[in-house]
Amino acid sequence: MRKFTFLLFGFLFTAFAVFAQKDSLKKEKVKTGFSMGGVPVVAYDADTGFKYGGLVNLYLYGDGSNYPNYNHSLYLEWSRTTKGSGINQLTYDALTLIPKTRVTFDVAYLTEQALNFYGFNGYEANYNPAFELTGGNDYISRMYYRHSRKLFRIKADFQGDIMGKKLRWLAGVAHYRAKISTVDIAKLNEGKESDLLPDTATLYDNYVKWGVIPADQATGGNITFLKVGAVYDTRDNEANPNKGMWSEALVLTAPGFLGNDYAYTRLLLSHRQYITIFPDILTFAYRLSYQTKISGEMPFYMLPYAIDSKATKDGLGGAKTIRGVLRNRVVGDGVAFGNFELRSKFFKTVILNQNFYLGVNAFVDMGMVTSPYTFDKTNVPAEYLSSVDFADESLHIGYGGGIRFVINSNFIIAVDYGIAAKKQDGTKGLYIGLNYLF
């Protein structure tokens, strides 16, 4: 009943906003020249510290003939926490740098003091929230389902016309360097006089000890891969489409001749569609994605990524895939997920010569492991196996709603609140970031 009530409220609120505010919509001005959007990054977490920094997105629209799409975009983010986590990222996206070719370049250094890690294959890896509940009888540590990761990532993608802009080829290359370790408990306890984290083994530590995570993968490694495929795109605009489709079929391969210790190939399929209910006011959007290994062996540190022609996201669960579900909860050799979202624009105006609108959305997200990751259980203690309630894999579902603050159709501040349908996937999550999910 709670789920039905929440979704019904979200859809009614969206519908009310559409009709109540329809008269307030103002004609959008075509943007030309240069535009900039930026926000400070401020957050706090008792275990990782105070987060501070900022992000900025620079746009060049030229003569405005491509608006609401831009000619060039430069995204920069720098943020830190007082205990070591951080984002350093630069992304350049150009639609007109090379005629009939889109160029996307991204370089990032991402540090995680406490990255979520719940094991492999979704519900086949039991999650017990009591292990993280301070003061409970079964408490182990708030860091039990975490490990540390430092990731350097650099990639370049190119897309060119096959049949106009609707059908395009894609080719790209990327290099990932991941350094994995256990959580640095001493660092996270610095400056604390109470509520100290216990220095105890985490799930990651146990998996390394038992050989579930092979010794030569336990501390991470380097992967260089190539990406080729085709993209079919009929969206009316990129930042917030009202109609059209965006589908892609990609093959990602990490061959041995590029120096990879682990050679493998993945197939990535995605389809997104945008259906206009009321023009430029109310849109139904959905995304379906299937990503699976088709040959070779993927090291464990490359499993929790969802990759497409535009971005690299962490594994299923969290802000970019299944909102409300724990980050990286759904990890395997093959995964499938879907997002279904009703989007509305309920106030549209021009402020200081900048196009501005507010939007609300209601959503349901879901996903599951379709091809399990195989690992060695030989050295896993029998008492551990007998004490854990393993389950068969099935759909992981999150649902909720959100609001959007949009400047010039491209700079989008997104706030979403998601609720997990099952306790095995967590409880809820609040996400503040940029852009629509897809």
Q: How many CA atoms lie within 13 Å of 382's alpha carbon, on the beta-carbon side?
A: 0
- pLDDT band at residue 389 under the 50/70/90 scheme: confident
* Whole-angstrom distance, CA of residue 286 vs CA of residue 272: 6
3-state secondary structure of 183: coil
Look at 19 and 398; give whichever has higher pLDDT.
398
Which amino acid is located at 382 in the chain? A
Show the CA angle centred on residue 104, arms to residues 103 and 107, nearest 5°.
Answer: 145
- pLDDT band at residue 83 under the 50/70/90 scheme: confident
- Give the CATH number of the domain where residue 256 resides: 2.40.160.50
pLDDT for 221-257, tens place per residue? Answer: 999 999 999 999 999 988 889 999 999 999 999 999 9
Structure tokens at 332: 């395997």
Mean pLDDT for all residues in the chain: 89
- The pLDDT of residue 22 is above 50: no
- The pLDDT of residue 155 is above 80: yes
pLDDT for 47 equals 56
Q: How many Cβ atoms are within 10 Å of 141's Cβ, its own excluded?
A: 19
pLDDT for 45 equals 55
- pLDDT band at residue 333 under the 50/70/90 scheme: very high
- pLDDT band at residue 15 under the 50/70/90 scheme: very low
Indicate the number of domains in the chain: 1
Mean pLDDT of 421-430: 93
Mean pLDDT of 114-135: 93
HEC letters along 89-156: EEEEEEEEEECCEEEEEEEEEEEEEEEECCCCCHHHCCCCHHHHCCCCCCCCCCCCCEEEEEEEEEEE
- pLDDT band at residue 352 under the 50/70/90 scheme: confident
- pLDDT band at residue 193 under the 50/70/90 scheme: confident
User: What is the domain range of residue 53?
Assistant: 2-434
- The pLDDT of residue 355 is above 70: yes
Look at 179 and 309; give whichever has higher pLDDT.
179
pLDDT for 19 equals 44
**DSSP per residue over 235-249, as a string?**
-S-SSS-SSEEEEEE
The whole-model pTM stands at: 0.86
